[in-house]
Amino acid sequence: MNASTPILSAEALSAIASKQRGIDRYPVTNRESWLARRQQDVTASAAGALLGVHEYQTVYGLWALKSGLLTEDVEETPPMRRGRLLEPVALQLLREERPTWSIDPGRHYFRHAADRIGATPDAFAIDPARPGFGIVQFKTVEPSIFRRKWCSDEDHGATEPPLWIVVQAIIEAELTGASWACVAPLVVGFGLDLPVIEVPIHAGIMDRLRDEVAAFWRMVESKTPPDPDYGRDGELLAKIYADDDGTEIDLSNDNHLPILIDERDRLKSEIKTSEDRCKEIETEFKAKLGTHATAILSDRRRVSWKTQHRKGYTVEPTSFRVLRFAKAK
């Protein structure tokens, strides 16, 4: 046996370390039971919402999910399916890119029962150049999104994961007892690239997160919702309150709401003025083109006004709520 060959696998080391730290460890056998376990915890993939750094999840959305107002869909979304299908590819590519590492796929859900925090690492690794073992988190990214969201300089030389992904990796390292962590985004374009990005494990983030998670569960247990993010939670609120109950609520003590209506009226007026002017501009162009399909302008830009044909279709009946603002009587 080579001296650099690990006696125990990275996955075995994670099992020992998690047990020593009082972390529960459950095998992932199917998606339904895995989702059921996750429902009782704030998971690493969503925890960034409690720190205000998550790209897709809000505190209100997480509260609605854990309060039972929403259910986590057991059906895969297209991005989830892409990640599941490409994870073995990322694992194989990592083995090729890091031939000295001993790498095991993650097969367990880790849970701190008292803190109600959980995580499912994608992979574990042993790097003979450093002590202990690490966790590896895979992501699949389209090249333009990678350049825009992961590259921190104009030449795209330095890479840094989005903060919610950093938080996810730190939690996975904390629960498993890993001594280091990295994120490996599989950039899928004409080829396949797998940069390996180190994530420093900051204990302060976990300390703050524990406090935020404890406060979050108190809100869930007391049925006290956090304030929605009005810029991001619109579709979520429409889903939760899809039907009215026919009653009326007295909001006359909320002096902020009339101010909002006045602001909305002003913005609507500005929008209408802009839309009317846009229509005038477009009508002038239509008059200039007449029956011509395209035109070339003095600055070499082109304008087109071509005929399009659309097939007919039948719209199925739907029901939805309509928000209207009536004038004061």
Per-domain residue ranges of the chain: 10-221
Sign of dihedral through CA atoms 20, 23, 28, 29? positive
pTM over 0.95: no
pLDDT for the residue numbered 325: 66
Sort strands 134-141 and 180-188 into parallel, antiparallel or unpaired: parallel
Residue corresponding to tokens 């619109």: 234
The identity of residue 40, as a single letter, is Q
Per-residue pLDDT at 52 exceeds 50: yes
Q: How far apart are CA 256 and CA 198, in angstroms?
A: 47
Q: Per residue in 122-174, pLDDT tens?
A: 999 999 999 999 999 999 999 999 988 998 765 556 688 999 999 999 999 99
Tokens read off for 91: 């694992």
pLDDT for the residue numbered 203: 83
Q: Which of 242, 211, 209 lies closest to 64, judged by CA? A: 242
Q: How far is CA 147 from CA 55, 87, 143, 188, 191, in A?
A: 16, 21, 6, 12, 15
pLDDT for the residue numbered 156: 52
Q: How far apart are CA 309 and CA 312, in angstroms?
A: 10
Query: What is the pLDDT of the chain when averaged over all its residues?
Result: 90
Percent of the chain with pLDDT over 90: 68
Q: How far apart are CA 89 and CA 82, in angstroms?
A: 11
pLDDT for the residue numbered 3: 46
In sequence order, the 6+-apart residues with CB closer than 8 A to the CB of 52 are 59
β strands within 40-193, DSSP E: 42-43, 102-105, 108-112, 117-119, 123-126, 134-141, 180-188, 192-193
The DSSP call for residue 159 is: B
CB-CB contact of 44 with 62 (8 Å):
no
Per-residue pLDDT at 296 exceeds 50: yes
pLDDT for the residue numbered 77: 67
pLDDT for the residue numbered 158: 66
Q: Report, at the CATH architecture level, how domain 10-221 is classified.
A: Alpha-Beta Complex (3.90)
Q: How far apart are CA 144 and CA 148, in angstroms?
A: 6
Q: Per residue in 190-237, pLDDT tens?
A: 889 999 999 999 888 999 999 999 999 999 999 999 999 999 999 999
Query: H or E stretch including 215?
Result: helix 203-221
Tokens read off for 121: 């690492």
Q: Per residue in 73-118, pLDDT tens?
A: 655 567 777 778 889 999 999 999 999 999 999 999 999 999 999 9
pLDDT for the residue numbered 1: 41
Tokens read off for 281: 């501009």
Residue corresponding to tokens 């498993």: 176
Higher model confidence: residue 222 or residue 316? 222
189 burial (CB, 10 Å; 0-12 / 13-18 / 19+) is exposed
pLDDT for the residue numbered 10: 86
Q: How far apart are CA 201 and CA 178, in angstroms?
A: 10
pLDDT for the residue numbered 58: 95
